[in-house]
Amino acid sequence: MTPWFRTLFLFSSFGPLYVLFAASLYVQGVRLWWGGVIAFAMAVIVFLWLKSRFKRKSVIRKAITVESNLDEGVFSYLVSYFPPFMTDSFSDPAKAIPIVIFYATMVFLLFRSSTIYINPFFIASGYRLYRGRLEGSNRSIVLITNRQDIIDGDMLSLYEVHPSRLYFGE
């Protein structure tokens, strides 16, 4: 997965945040509130495009051992949505600059970790995210799947999205 693909993944994961920014700007009377709505629509389109690319590579059948469920991380991820609620004026640099710094730091940290794959759109679409290991490998992977429960040793059809790191499984 190229850095561009990871950037698109991160952009789409902030989709709900764009709606909150749009609402906050609208309430404050800022004319550019519609930019948040456009960003949300683009995030949905990017998410659907990313999801369509999951099955592009050849499929392998492997057993997986689940280490943890990453879905639960979405709630701590959603905490980052609070700043728009707490800011009463984005036109005031004294209030907007700390938010810009906060989100820049957050984007940097998310880009450097596997947390980038936690996407509210996946969870809303019924997908699950797991950290696990493939049969015969010591490397930890992230698995995105539409299966609701995975028991250790389940054989899955896996599509490699990012070599040796991110798989889509059915």
Structure token digits, residue 101: 């710094």
Question: What does the pLDDT read at residue 48?
Answer: 94
Which pTM was predicted? 0.82
* Greatest mean pLDDT among 14-18, 27-31, 84-88: 14-18
The label of the residue with tokens 């469920």 reads: 69
- Distance between CA 155 and CA 48 in Å, rounded? 26
Q: Whole-number mean pLDDT of the chain? A: 86
State the DSSP string of 67-136.
EEEGGGHHHHHHGGG-HHHH-S-TTSHHHHHHHHHHHHHHHHHHHTSGGGG--HHHHHTT-EEEEEEETT
pLDDT band at 1 (very low <50, low <70, confident <90, very high): low
The whole-angstrom distance between residue 26's C-alpha and the CA centroid of its chain comes to: 26
Average pLDDT over residues 54-83: 81
- Distance between CA 9 and CA 114 in Å, rounded? 11
Closest CA to 8 of 162, 163, 165: 162
Structure token digits, residue 42: 């683009």
- Of the two residues 76 and 45, the one the predictor is more confident about is 45
pLDDT band at 133 (very low <50, low <70, confident <90, very high): very high
Q: Alpha-carbon dihedral of residues 70, 73, 74, 76, nearest 10 degrees?
A: 180
Q: How many residues are listed for the chain in this entry?
A: 170
- Distance between CA 18 and CA 28 in Å, rounded? 15
**Beta partners for residue 118, in sequence order:** none
- Distance between CA 107 and CA 112 in Å, rounded? 9
